[in-house]
Structure 1
């Protein structure tokens, strides 16, 4: 732990003595914030929750005008708890380091936040608290344009579409849209292996769907198979076409789909997660790319 990090989380008296400087910025803090969440890289940590404790300290820029006891002129404490809740709800994570980075990044998007200290501890993995502490600071002015939400087109291709001689025409239509496109596929026609065991069957079905995704990628070089939300977001910002490999996002979801064997239902779930502009279905009786009204 660096000296500055230690001072950030240390007693107020220690910090006041060590940092007796009129230019030291004001700070707001969140201490001993407890929550239960599923997190961890080990298989034993899947399917169960454990307690996390958060401590967050934020250095804030001086108010440009008198506060006048107006809550809208300060960095609210709710911002800190909301940043934690948002990142915990976004997806299941393996590492505390990743969670700490994301919480810090979200807080630093607030105009008043100059520097943030985040400490996260696991309370149920041993006789003591196991944790990580980081310090991050604003690199410069935040480019809010980077956070403009994108609303993709989600296209579900059934197996007849995958093997159709119109496939390239449909892909042409997807790439010509104003919105970035994500293609979803379902299970292959051949019945997948049946285990009779829910958790293992879920993984097998997801792997079967991913085989279909790679089959699509083999048919058109524009179809790039992607398995993480971070990569999907990046591909959308670049205007690239993506083919969704669902295992990682589904298994890491805090509130995942109830079943994965229905590829179309899975595509609907992704559309909700991505706040999609629209979802189209291509296959038997599917749309004709020459008829835009079928695509709307």
Structure 2
């Protein structure tokens, strides 16, 4: 039984990582190629629970087909070519952006970022996990400029005011009046609720982390149950959309914290509030605690009436 014919993309991938002579014979395309081979990085990635809190090695191979600038090459002008650093920088940026579950997502984002360069016509990306067993697991993709997903570049990102509510704020008689004032303000406000109970202890640090984060989220949903204006959001996309609309947002921290490459040092509500305020470049952080030193202006509000 004959083997099925490879698809055009499969053949393109095979040739991308094949010997130069094989590529030349098969394609005859007047495009140059630059490549990054066997670039190793250690990173936390993966959809399985056992991959949380564990760094594993990834191996990257990237080949970019570029439109040659003969004048720049002959004049030895480094500014007229695609630098190899562009490929490494794409990896650096995507590794720092957030923790990902899927190699496929990382490959798509890398390809899209490389294709931002004007001279790149097509890019091939191979990413492999080296520590998941006695084998190599990986993904390979090829993307052309016309088929590449757009990268959302944050421009004029909203800068919110962040308010850490004290314990028992859900039951405070002044909460409705506070929400009236905040809802009338067109500037974005993000509320972070403090649980009014002590979360149970867990022997496993990762389990304890989730228990503590879920306690904050439970307090957030209690706010939502108290007033329909308290809309709970957990993803960066939802937060950005909500803050651009102005008004109120209640933050549920688990998703952003667990996926952060540089997360907060612990899961105490005050630590979470300061981390969030710094991450989203808040204009002000209001807490029921004494102000702390940091990049975000901070003030104390002991009661809801002080906010």
Q: TM-score band (shorter)?
A: 0.7 to 0.9
Structure 1 residue runs without a partner (length 5+): 290-296
Residue 155 of structure 1 is aligned with which of 156, 163, 170?
A: 163
Q: For residue 294 of structure 1, what is the aligned residue in structure 2?
A: none
Q: For residue 46 of structure 1, what is the aligned residue in structure 2?
A: 52
Q: Which digits, 9 at most, give the CA deviation of each residue in 1:46-101, with x for residues without a partner? A: 22221110011223345497464333333222121121122222222221111112
1:152 Cα deviation after fit: 2.5
Matches within 5 A, 1:199-278: 199-237=206-244, 239=246, 241-260=248-267, 262-278=268-284
Cα 1:143–1:129 shift into 2, 3 Å: closer
Determine helix, strand or coil for the equivalent of 1:29: strand
| CA RMSD, 1 decimal | 3.0
1:117 Cα deviation after fit: 1.5
1:149 Cα deviation after fit: 4.5
For normalisation by structure 1, the TM-score amounts to: 0.82
Residue 18 of structure 2 is aligned with which of 5, 10, 35?
A: 10
Determine helix, strand or coil for the equivalent of 1:114: strand
Q: How many corresponding residue pairs?
A: 285
1:131 Cα deviation after fit: 0.1
Is the contact made by 2:191 and 2:250 (CA closer than 8 Å) also made in structure 1?
A: yes
1:219 Cα deviation after fit: 2.8
Cα 1:9–1:110 shift into 2, 3 Å: same
Cα 1:122–1:142 shift into 2, 3 Å: closer
Cα 1:110–1:7 shift into 2, 3 Å: same
Say if 2:131 is the partner of 1:124: yes
Determine helix, strand or coil for the equivalent of 2:123: strand
Determine helix, strand or coil for the equivalent of 1:119: strand
For normalisation by structure 2, the TM-score amounts to: 0.80
Determine helix, strand or coil for the equivalent of 2:198: coil
Q: Residues of 2 paired with 1:11 and 1:161: CA distance?
A: 66
Q: Residues of 2 paired with 1:286 and 1:145: CA distance?
A: 37
Is the contact made by 2:186 and 2:247 (CA closer than 8 Å) also made in structure 1?
A: no
Is the contact made by 1:8 and 1:15 (CA closer than 8 Å) also made in structure 2?
A: yes
1:169 Cα deviation after fit: 4.5
Q: Residues of 2 paired with 1:176 and 1:151: CA distance?
A: 17
Is the contact made by 1:181 and 1:241 (CA closer than 8 Å) also made in structure 2?
A: yes
Q: Residues of 2 paired with 1:57 and 1:233: CA distance?
A: 33
Structure 2 residue runs without a partner (length 5+): 1-8, 289-300
1:18 Cα deviation after fit: 0.9
Q: Residues of 2 paired with 1:58 and 1:277: CA distance?
A: 41
Q: Residues of 2 paired with 1:62 and 1:118: CA distance?
A: 20
Q: Residues of 2 paired with 1:284 and 1:145: CA distance?
A: 39
Greater mean deviation of Cα atoms: 68-77 or 37-46: 68-77
